[in-house]
């Protein structure tokens, strides 16, 4: 967001008013004119002075040509004498003598700085034309005398006067709001820059239309909404949508972050809320955008510190200002958060936030539109089809799609290419989601073999089972935190999951451990991520989805991501200990059934598993079509080249998934390391 304060009145609404430099310039001129005058005075005295050599000075002294002089003693260099004075004008003769015109009173000033030898020093003091003098220390003494007063005046100015004047930044103005007014001429973001969230854009477009023509709605009795809460996952474009509202509307627009209200001093947050609304009332109609409102809008009464804390006072002030006794129309609050579950119920009621807009992850059409918006700033090759990339990026947010194009541009620049091709876009897609390939990682042949069999087990079961998503690729090249990856992409938008699908997902996660045991006759830690993923799926089936015949359609326990420690400590279990044991048995039963299903498939297809593993050891990466060919025919057709295989990778997947894609449902074996949980 822009930080410009150009449209703010002189009462420092943005807290960034600058002190005019005129006063400072006046003081600099006063202090600088004093040494300037003294310097010019000295220059006036020295104008026309003649510098001379030692011999010339000795000549005028011994011939009594000096009319007056002064020997200045400098304690810093006592061996040197600075001599100034005047001598009569004379005319040198060819025989070494000189002549002085009678009655000629012309005196020429001179200046010399020399060490006086004993003979010359005796001649100087014996001529009675010289007197002793002290160096001119008036300027230094003057500055020493006024320096204490300058320091005291500066301290008074900076610690008192300046702090009072500069509201919002001084020690006496912590209660001033940090909301920044967005200048319309500097905000070039409009609805043309927002794509993939058409429903949300339509709702906020109505708000902009209301601000431009309120009578159109008021003649039917409609009232302007007081608040709009935008809810969505990180990176879906909530803040971008707010900037677009500011770019489209003619109203004043203030922006602030929820964390800007909370300060180290008690009462500052509530004071800033009141000051922000005071500024807004002077600029009605206006919009106030609060980003990450969950920083101050969390539910009251939770936590171990009691209810009378700083955040609750700030929230109380916000509630009163939005819909209390002393409220005025014309101020619209737009807030954004990705944690609506932690917000206080009083903040969400109609009259405060009248409308809640959900900004979802984009579907296939939305992803293509977002890619086209961001592609305006990069140079794409003529053969690039963004629709193919959109089909191959289910579950990507707008921020991830923007990062995808940026990474593709960096890859193309690194390869000295003049434009971005499909190969760079597809490689960037895998890098954004699963991490960059770590080809420099040193792996022993034994580790490569175990990793290849592990990933081959996942890939084989993924292709054979009916209710899994199509295999995208399988690789033993380390990527991100994993030593190998098995990647699958959904064919279409995933709106819900079936029991058979989740049971097959558990079986796929078990395939790696089973295949690994076949080749090494031992276990390793590589299946830790698989076990974690399988346990999470099975427990969700039993406790939340009612997919257990023994426990029935009952929800056991609440969501475990509730963030308030105090509530967690005081909340008891809503099921008995015997039920907890039954839940554990059901979770283990589902995992054991998946293990047996995977073990049966691998035992019956041992030769195909071995062919997949050996092909991985030779080529490192196989796409879904190549694995399907091995499973169906028992033969393997090697790719023409590594780069061609990488390009064919996603092309085949894109053709299979032409109706694809939406919310994230990418199954990635977190690798043979077990350090990164898979996405399920």
Domain range annotation of the chain:
22-40+140-165, 48-134, 180-359, 364-433, 445-668
pLDDT of residue 6: 38
CATH of domain 48-134: 3.30.720.210
| Residue 657 pLDDT grade (very low, low, confident, very high; cuts 50, 70, 90) | very low
| Residue 327 pLDDT grade (very low, low, confident, very high; cuts 50, 70, 90) | low
**467 pLDDT exceeds 80?**
yes
**218 pLDDT exceeds 80?**
no
| Residue 588 pLDDT grade (very low, low, confident, very high; cuts 50, 70, 90) | very high
The highest-confidence range among 46-60, 155-169, 242-256, 369-383, by mean pLDDT, is 369-383
pLDDT of residue 90: 76
| Residue 157 pLDDT grade (very low, low, confident, very high; cuts 50, 70, 90) | confident
Average confidence (pLDDT) over 28-35: 68
pLDDT digits (tens, 9 = 90+) for 45-60: 555 567 777 777 888 7
CA atoms of 143 and 35, how far apart (whole Å)? 9
CA atoms of 501 and 552, how far apart (whole Å)? 19
The candidate with the shortest Cα–Cα distance to 476, out of 487, 490, 492, is 487
pLDDT of residue 81: 76
**587 pLDDT exceeds 90?**
yes
Whole-number CA gyration radius for the chain: 42
The highest-confidence range among 8-22, 125-139, 238-252, by mean pLDDT, is 238-252
**676 pLDDT exceeds 60?**
no
Which residue would you say has higher pLDDT here, 533 or 285?
Answer: 533
CA atoms of 174 and 130, how far apart (whole Å)? 69
pLDDT of residue 510: 92
The candidate with the shortest Cα–Cα distance to 109, out of 70, 140, 81, is 70
Contact predicate 312/574, CB 8 Å: no
Q: Which fold has domain 445-668?
A: Methane Monooxygenase Hydroxylase; Chain G, domain 1 (1.20.58)
The highest-confidence range among 71-75, 111-115, 492-496, by mean pLDDT, is 111-115
**586 pLDDT exceeds 90?**
yes
Q: What does the block give as tokens for 509? A: 């996660």
| Residue 139 pLDDT grade (very low, low, confident, very high; cuts 50, 70, 90) | low
Which residue would you say has higher pLDDT here, 308 or 646?
Answer: 308
Residue whose token pair is 């690789």: 475
**592 pLDDT exceeds 90?**
yes
Average confidence (pLDDT) over 367-388: 88
Which residue would you say has higher pLDDT here, 349 or 249?
Answer: 349
The candidate with the shortest Cα–Cα distance to 668, out of 434, 490, 460, 465, is 434
The candidate with the shortest Cα–Cα distance to 342, out of 624, 114, 71, 565, is 565
| Residue 78 pLDDT grade (very low, low, confident, very high; cuts 50, 70, 90) | low
How many C-beta atoms surround the C-beta of residue 435 within 10 A?
Answer: 17
**Per residue in 405-431, is it b (16+ CB within 10 Å) or e — as a string?**
bebbbebbeeeeeeebbbbbbbbbbbb
**120 pLDDT exceeds 70?**
yes
**654 pLDDT exceeds 60?**
no
pLDDT of residue 138: 62
Q: How far is CA 474 from CA 15, 101, 298, 598, 630, in A?
A: 56, 113, 43, 18, 13
pLDDT of residue 667: 38
Contact predicate 621/474, CB 8 Å: yes
> Structure pTM?
0.62
The Cβ-side half-sphere exposure at 8, using a 13 Å CA radius, reads 23
Assign 3-class secondary structure to 229-288.
Answer: EEEECCCCCHHHHHHHHHHHCCCEEEEEEHHHCCCCCCCHHHHHHHHHHHHHHCCCCEEE
pLDDT of residue 522: 84
**381 pLDDT exceeds 70?**
yes
pLDDT digits (tens, 9 = 90+) for 79-106: 777 788 888 777 777 666 677 766 566 7
Residue whose token pair is 């299946």: 527
| Residue 589 pLDDT grade (very low, low, confident, very high; cuts 50, 70, 90) | very high
pLDDT of residue 10: 41
Would residue 292 show up in a list of annotated catalytic residues for this protein?
Answer: no
**30 pLDDT exceeds 80?**
no
pLDDT of residue 591: 94
The terminus-to-terminus CA distance of the chain in angstroms comes to: 35
- The class of domain 180-359 in CATH terms is alpha beta
Which phi and psi angles does 502 have, rounded to 5°?
-70, -35
Report the mean per-residue pLDDT for the chain: 75
pLDDT of residue 303: 53
| Residue 461 pLDDT grade (very low, low, confident, very high; cuts 50, 70, 90) | very high
- The class of domain 364-433 in CATH terms is mainly alpha
| Residue 593 pLDDT grade (very low, low, confident, very high; cuts 50, 70, 90) | very high
The highest-confidence range among 84-88, 458-462, 631-635, by mean pLDDT, is 458-462
Out of 571-575, 608-612, 653-657, pick the least confident. 653-657
Catalytic residue selected from 455, 516, 620, 664: 455
Out of 115-129, 269-283, 300-314, 366-380, pick the least confident. 300-314
Contact predicate 342/217, CB 8 Å: no
Average confidence (pLDDT) over 18-31: 64
Out of 138-142, 197-201, 462-466, pick the least confident. 138-142
pLDDT digits (tens, 9 = 90+) for 219-258: 877 777 788 899 988 888 888 888 888 778 767 788 888 7
Query: What percent of the chain shows pLDDT beyond 70?
Result: 73
* Strands ordered across the beta sheet of 107-114: 50-51, 107-114, 81-88, 66-73, 130-133
| Residue 505 pLDDT grade (very low, low, confident, very high; cuts 50, 70, 90) | very high
**537 pLDDT exceeds 90?**
yes
């Amino acid at each position: 967001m822009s930080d410009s304060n150009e449209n703010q009145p002189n009462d420092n609404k943005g807290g960034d008013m600058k002190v005019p430099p005129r006063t400072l310039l006046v003081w600099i001129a006063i202090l600088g004119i004093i040494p300037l005058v003294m310097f010019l005075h000295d220059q006036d005295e020295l104008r026309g002075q003649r510098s001379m050599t030692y011999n010339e000075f000795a000549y005028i002294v011994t011939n009594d040509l000096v009319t007056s002089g002064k020997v200045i003693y400098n304690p810093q260099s006592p061996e040197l004498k600075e001599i100034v004075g005047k001598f009569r004008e004379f005319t040198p003769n060819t025989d070494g003598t000189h002549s002085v015109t009678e009655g000629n009173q012309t005196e020429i000033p001179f200046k010399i700085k020399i060490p006086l030898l004993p003979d010359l020093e005796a001649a100087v003091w014996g001529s009675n034309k010289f007197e002793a003098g002290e160096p001119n220390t008036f300027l230094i003494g003057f500055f020493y005398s006024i320096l204490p007063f300058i320091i005291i005046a500066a301290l008074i100015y900076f610690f008192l006067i300046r702090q009072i004047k500069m509201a919002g930044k001084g020690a006496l103005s912590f209660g001033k709001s940090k909301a920044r007014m967005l200048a319309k001429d500097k905000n070039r973001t409009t609805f043309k820059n927002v794509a993939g969230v058409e429903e949300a854009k339509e709702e906020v477009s109505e708000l902009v239309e209301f601000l431009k023509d309120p009578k159109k709605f008021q003649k039917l009795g409609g009232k302007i909404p007081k608040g709009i809460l935008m809810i969505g996952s990180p990176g879906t474009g909530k803040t971008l949508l707010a900037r677009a509202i500011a770019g489209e509307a003619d109203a004043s627009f203030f922006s602030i972050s929820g964390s800007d209200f909370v300060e180290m001093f008690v009462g500052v947050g509530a004071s800033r809320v009141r000051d922000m609304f005071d500024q807004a009332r002077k600029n009605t109609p206006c919009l106030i955008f609060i980003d990450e409102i969950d920083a101050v809008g969390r539910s009251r009464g939770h936590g171990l510190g009691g209810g009378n804390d700083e955040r609750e006072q700030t929230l109380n002030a916000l509630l009163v200002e939005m819909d209390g006794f002393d409220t005025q129309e014309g101020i619209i609050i737009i807030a954004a958060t990705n944690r609506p579950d932690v917000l206080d119920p009083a903040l969400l009621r109609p009259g405060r936030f009248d409308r809640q807009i959900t900004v979802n992850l984009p579907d296939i059409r939305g992803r293509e539109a977002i890619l086209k918006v961001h592609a305006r700033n990069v140079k794409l090759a003529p053969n690039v089809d963004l629709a193919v990339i959109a089909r191959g990026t289910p579950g990507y947010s707008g921020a991830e799609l923007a990062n995808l194009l940026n990474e593709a541009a960096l890859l193309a620049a690194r390869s000295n290419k003049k434009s971005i091709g499909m190969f760079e876009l597809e490689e960037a897609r895998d890098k954004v989601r699963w991490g960059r390939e770590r080809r420099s990682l040193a792996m022993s042949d034994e580790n490569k073999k175990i990793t290849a069999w592990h990933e081959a087990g996942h890939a084989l079961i993924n292709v054979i089972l009916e209710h899994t998503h199509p295999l995208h690729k399988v690789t033993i090249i380390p990527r991100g935190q994993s030593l190998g990856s098995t990647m699958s992409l959904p064919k279409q938008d995933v709106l819900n999951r079936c029991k058979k699908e989740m049971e097959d997902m558990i079986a796929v996660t078990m395939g790696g451990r089973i295949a690994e045991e076949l080749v090494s006759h031992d276990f390793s830690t590589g299946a830790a991520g698989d076990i974690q993923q399988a346990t999470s799926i099975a427990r969700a089936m039993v406790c939340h989805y009612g997919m257990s015949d023994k426990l029935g359609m009952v929800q056991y326990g609440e969501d475990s991501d509730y963030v308030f420690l105090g509530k967690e400590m005081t909340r008891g279990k809503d099921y008995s200990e015997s039920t907890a044991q039954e839940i554990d048995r059901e979770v283990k039963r589902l995992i054991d059934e998946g293990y047996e299903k995977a073990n049966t498939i691998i035992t019956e297809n041992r030769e195909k598993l071995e062919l997949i593993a050996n092909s991985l050891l030779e080529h490192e990466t196989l796409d879904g079509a190549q694995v399907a060919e091995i499973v169906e025919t028992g033969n393997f057709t090697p790719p023409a080249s590594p780069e061609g295989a990488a390009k064919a990778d996603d092309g085949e997947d894109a053709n299979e998934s032409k109706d694809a894609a939406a919310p994230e449902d990418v199954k990635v074996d977190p690798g043979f390391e077990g350090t990164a949980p898979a996405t399920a």
